[in-house]
Chains A and B, each alone.
Chain A
Amino acid sequence: MSVEVQNPDQTAEPPLDKLPLDAWHRSKGGRMVPFAGYDMPVQCEGIIAEHNWTRENAGLFDVSHMGQLLVHGRDVDTALEKLLPGDLQSAADMKPKYSLLLDDSGGIVDDLMATRRGDDFYVVVNGATKHGDIEYMRRLLPATVVVDYMKEQALLALQGPRAAEVLETIVSGVTQLGFMQGAPFSWQGHNLWISRSGYTGEDGFEISVPGSAAAELADAIVAHGAAKPIGLGARDSLRLEAGLPLYGHDIDRETTPVMAGLNFAINKRRRAEGGFAGAMRILAELENGPPQVRVGFEVEGRQPVREGALVLDGEGNEVGRVTSGGFSPSLSRPIAMGYVATSLAGAGTALKVEQRGKLFEARVAAMPFVPHRYHRKGAA
């Protein structure tokens, strides 16, 4: 037996550094793999069990590999708007916004969450790209704007329908937050920054905690019977079911926000005014439609199709590619995400996928594959 397709995020490079919860994961039986320059747990109990646990209870994810940045200085919002297509000038205090770091041709350098916190912006970027992002932002932002890397902070995510119930027992008041709202909290003398957000499609929280207190907080969370540690494997299957793109796979410098279907991240004012990296191409794509667009696929049969598989039309012409794919534990079937020519992107369009010389029947599917269950204030 030979393993042909490894997780493409796994690299042979030795880990650069240890994350604050390294020993904690090992003590919990986490199977560690190299990821984004660190050793991280790919699974603890088993990917499907962890996936289902998160959909039904609360899953604790260590996402400390991600880069937490504090961007500050004079007119930081207008300065960031040169690189991000988000409306940061009107960003309300403590409300995280999903946005994209763009290059001059409109390609996506990274996707991120940016939150105005008083005079500063707290920005969370991907782990594998954080050093490049920092370098890119420092190079292109005016000298009056400073990018601080909050290296000492760990980041935990608690996700699932019981996340609020669990976290409220530890940090009183978190249930008052609505989806995409954050606030500072204090726990055992440690400052926490908590936002009601995440990347699984479930209700949940992301918790920025000093690295020195991370293990203590993780212990307190999993002491609640409804919470368990969850590895990277389930994190990937959960976000795929939620239809959320993963940087380096579903989005990268070859794709634009419009191709990726992330138009919601560019509001009316920014569309009217432009003035962000790659605006010429992106505004043209908004006007005329992109050549290819990100879609979901439902694949016939049981065999997963994975990143790199080709998408073909009825005549066998290559019309796209799969950028993420796998087995959906919640739906018990293979699902995938990728790009197709815009004319073939309508839900229900019948296509074929070719992988290792084998053809699969597939249909374009609406995303998310599994409905989001965010806690929107005012909603039931």
Chain B
Amino acid sequence: MPLYFTKEHEWIRVEGDTATVGISDHAQEALGDIVFAEVPESGRHVSKGQEAAVVESVKAASDVYAPVSGEVIESNSTIADDPAVINRDPEGDGWFFKIRLNDAGELDGLMEEVAYREWVKTL
């Protein structure tokens, strides 16, 4: 399953015409202890680059942007109940939401995993 990243540190794992979105390990590390997450409801339409979720650590509040446009088909209630899951497993159990892609072409501008991992080392 192809995995892409944004320069804003979201990841998106694509499976056919659906995809799972979360924040990267680098992002959770930078945020520190996460104490709150708000995920979009199923059925909501999100647009590429727009705010889709909220994540807050002890020190900071952040918006999570939709890496691509689409309809939210599932959101992760686990992270709302236990936000620390995002610190423990940001790119696995700490996923935020799943969407049905509007336009697979929007994936073209995203970073591939190797490029992202190399890039964050320079930050």
Chain A interface (Cβ within 8 Å of chain B)? 1-7, 42-43, 46-49, 233, 237, 302-304, 306, 326-327, 329, 356
Contacts and interface: CB of A to CB of B under 8 A. Distances in A.
Size category of the B interface is: 20 to 34
Contact of B60 (A5, A237, A302, A303): A5
Interface of B: 8-10, 23, 27, 30-33, 35-36, 38, 54-56, 58-65, 80, 83
A42 B59 contact: yes
10 contacts: A1-B9, A1-B62, A3-B31, A43-B32, A46-B33, A47-B58, A302-B83, A306-B61, A327-B36, A327-B58
Given A46-B33, A302-B36, A303-B38, A2 B62 contact: yes
A175 B9 CA distance: 50
Given A1-B10, A2-B8, A46-B33, 19 more contacts: A1-B27, A1-B62, A1-B64, A1-B65, A3-B30, A3-B60, A3-B62, A4-B61, A4-B62, A42-B59, A48-B33, A49-B33, A233-B59, A237-B58, A303-B36, A303-B54, A304-B56, A327-B56, A329-B58
8 closest Cβ pairs, A-B complex: A327-B35, A48-B33, A47-B58, A5-B61, A303-B36, A3-B60, A1-B8, A3-B62
Contacts of A237: 58
B58 A48 contact: yes
A6 B60 contact: yes
A237 B55 CA distance: 18
B64 A7 contact: no
A233 B58 CA distance: 8
Nearest to B9: A1
B116 to A, nearest CB: 13
Nearest to A5: B61
A304 B36 contact: yes
B48 to A, nearest CB: 14
A47 B59 CA distance: 9
A2 B55 CA distance: 10
A108 B33 CA distance: 33
A49 B84 CA distance: 12
Nearest to B7: A1
A11 B13 CA distance: 36
With most chain B CB atoms within 10 A of its CB, the pick from A2, A5, A356 is A2
Contacts of A356: 61
B63 A2 contact: yes
Contact of B33 (A1, A3, A7, A47): A47
A322 to B, nearest CB: 13
Given A7-B60, A303-B38, A303-B56, A1 B23 contact: yes
A329 B30 CA distance: 19
Contacts of B23: 1
Given A233-B58, A326-B58, A327-B58, A1 B63 contact: yes
With most chain B CB atoms within 10 A of its CB, the pick from A3, A7, A46, A47 is A3
Contacts of B55: 1
A326 B56 CA distance: 10
A212 to B, nearest CB: 32
Nearest to B23: A1
A320 to B, nearest CB: 21
With most chain A CB atoms within 10 A of its CB, the pick from B10, B55, B62 is B62
B65 A2 contact: yes
Given A233-B58, A303-B38, A306-B61, A47 B32 contact: yes
B79 to A, nearest CB: 11
